[in-house]
Amino acid sequence: DQQVKQNSPSLSVQEGRISILNCDYTNSMFDYFLWYKKYPAEGPTFLISISSIKDKNEDGRFTVFLNKSAKHLSLHIVPSQPGDSAVYFCAASARQGGSEKLVFGKGTKLTVNP
């Protein structure tokens, strides 16, 4: 049973526009969420995180929104740049439950076209 789901395997966006990547989770014990970016032949790079006590966190062009009632989070990238083209992974952990392991989705491949 997949606890973290990224239902869109791929997304294509024009440079300068907004990219919205979505993630759903099923485990109500998850209280910390992270987004990672991965280029081919490299390990995942941490992008941004959000605690369940917040509903929004911003860092430059990246904003993560959390809707706890819907068990849904999204990553917004504005404006999108060609260098943002990569696979994006959503991850979650149940930190207050004593579990610090990260549970990942399958990833969404973002392509930003010049």
Residues that bind other proteins (CB under 8 A): 4, 34, 36, 41-46, 49, 89, 91, 95-96, 98-107
- Residue 26 or residue 96: which is nearer to other proteins going by CB? 96
CA angle 25, 26, 32 (to 5 degrees): 55
Closest separation in Å from C-beta 107 to other proteins: 6
- Single-letter residue type at 58: E
Q: Which is nearer to other proteins, 34 or 110 (CB)?
A: 34
Residue 17 one-letter amino acid: R
CA dist., res. 55 & res. 27, Å (int): 17
| Nearer to other proteins among residue 14 and residue 26 (C-beta) | 26
Residue 20, number of CB atoms within 10 A of its CB: 16
State the minimum distance, in angstroms, from the CB of residue 37 to other proteins: 11
